[in-house]
Chains A and B, each alone.
Chain A
């Protein structure tokens, strides 16, 4: 199976700090890949390479290749706007904009110049349905998004990304601000979405990784230690360090 997105010998430095060390990873399409590892191992940094959000931090140097459908997106002249349309991101803390629910969903459409009209309201409905939020908010589309519960806010943020029809969803600990029931709901949603989207999730919660993902990558101190099917990583890790982490000896 061809990789949807892959990195080749990816190195990243924050000033003098070597944050990603020669990472080679090939993420399979239409599945959930979990990136696990202790705090500060570089998992969020790796995730942010896929939509090139790291470059917004001053002093970052990135070397190596990042291939999206075989095309290097880490080079001069890459259309970042188009890239970020194809590779959407959901953040750790739900970050709906201080606008109405509908305006949150149409934000990406307006950014990418989709003309408003009937199409917008269809997209609003479809994206809210995709995250099972539609029934809860259909009567208050024009009320402020910040009035929603944290779980609804995170669903809204996912809908907002889905509205611009990305191919890949990056999720940076999307449940860490949610309670266990809400977490369970979002995990169900991820499983549904993985039929049409390539999902990459960063999590420090190993149970979550084993529950939702088909593939797992274990990172330690900026290195990718092991990558493979989740079942194998969790039951039969090949590397001693993976085994030590999975069995809870550090992290």
Chain B
């Protein structure tokens, strides 16, 4: 019994260490970043695009817009494709093929992001430059690269959501004379809705947080983009690009940008989890 208790205690400590890690990071970045936000003022920090660390101007609006633009673009591309794949793999494709394709898509998650960035720079950026104009390094390039990077997240969570829909719903629909496509869009997508929303939001979190690939293809110009062919700098890129030489208030401002990202991603994940839980409850027929 003593041994049992000891083991339970050790396991609890291990489990708590994850929580402790999260707590430490949170406290640290808020401690480093929050004072500067308060000192600069919410308005001058979030709603000014004047970022001149040497002159003491810390407005991150252009980067917020940059982050939002590439995230939105990534979700338009990756969200649509990922949901489409999930529909095909769960509703239309033979189970054997699906059980081969799903791990293949999940394998995409294992490719290092620098490789995605590299592929983007060598293939995508020149294509955009010669066919659509602009510098090539752009919102569009970043959106496409990120869109592919979020595919595994969106696809595999959407697949799980669609698979969690009880088969009896599907049978009931088919027995009423519905075709596969009717069953899919009139019933399955509605029944799996909250899980699919969770998949999209988690994908957004991933797109928003991605750094390396974005630095390589987005151009990193500190301006508000006028079109999808313009270069942008995202919050994450900015932190990564400037952290190496920043000191004093500049360093604090980068942490403050981190606080912003952290808060947004936490909000995304909380929403996603709430939706995911709701799907599971519905799956149990309550």
The answer, among A58, A89, A112, for a CB contact under 8 Å with B175, is A89
Binary flags per residue of A15-56, CB closer than 8 Å to B gives 1, else 0: 000000000000000000000000000000000000101001
CB-defined contacts of B282 to chain A, threshold 8 Å: 98, 146
A58-B95, A91-B168, A146-B286 given; A98·B190 CB < 8 A: yes
Which of B94, B169, B172 has the largest number of chain A CB atoms within 10 A?
A: B172
The answer, among B95, B177, B286, for a CB contact under 8 Å with A84, is B177
**Interface size in chain A (residues, C-beta < 8 A):** 28
A91 to B190, CA, bound (A): 21
B282 CB to closest chain A CB (Å) equals 6
Check B177 against A157 for contact (C-beta < 8 Å): no
A157 CB to closest chain B CB (Å) equals 7
* B186 interface residue per 8 A CB criterion: yes
A116 CB to closest chain B CB (Å) equals 13
CB-defined contacts of A84 to chain B, threshold 8 Å: 174-177
CB-defined contacts of A82 to chain B, threshold 8 Å: 177
A95-B172, A97-B187 given; A81·B179 CB < 8 A: yes
Check A157 against B172 for contact (C-beta < 8 Å): yes
CB-defined contacts of B89 to chain A, threshold 8 Å: none
Which of A80, A81, A83 has the largest number of chain B CB atoms within 10 A?
A: A81
A108 to B182, CA, bound (A): 10
Check A112 against B286 for contact (C-beta < 8 Å): no
* A174 interface residue per 8 A CB criterion: no
The answer, among A51, A56, A93, A111, for a CB contact under 8 Å with B178, is A111
Check A56 against B95 for contact (C-beta < 8 Å): no
* A138 interface residue per 8 A CB criterion: no
CB-defined contacts of B173 to chain A, threshold 8 Å: 97, 107, 111
Which of A82, A83, A107 has the largest number of chain B CB atoms within 10 A?
A: A107
A110-B186, A111-B186, A146-B286 given; A97·B178 CB < 8 A: no
With CB as the reference atom, state the residue of chain A lying closest to B282: A98
A93-B168, A146-B286 given; A53·B175 CB < 8 A: yes
CB-defined contacts of A93 to chain B, threshold 8 Å: 168
A53-B171, A84-B174, A108-B176 given; A95·B182 CB < 8 A: no
* A66 interface residue per 8 A CB criterion: no
* B166 interface residue per 8 A CB criterion: yes
* Contacting residues of chain A (130-152) with chain B, CB-CB under 8 angstroms: 146
A15 to B190, CA, bound (A): 34
* A88 interface residue per 8 A CB criterion: yes
CB-defined contacts of A112 to chain B, threshold 8 Å: 177
* A202 interface residue per 8 A CB criterion: no
Q: Which 9 A-B pairs have the closest CB atoms?
A: A84-B177, A95-B168, A89-B175, A111-B178, A108-B176, A95-B172, A81-B177, A85-B177, A98-B191
Given contacts A111-B176, A164-B177, 10 further A-B contacts (CB under 8 A): A53-B175, A56-B174, A82-B177, A88-B176, A97-B190, A98-B169, A111-B177, A111-B178, A111-B182, A164-B176
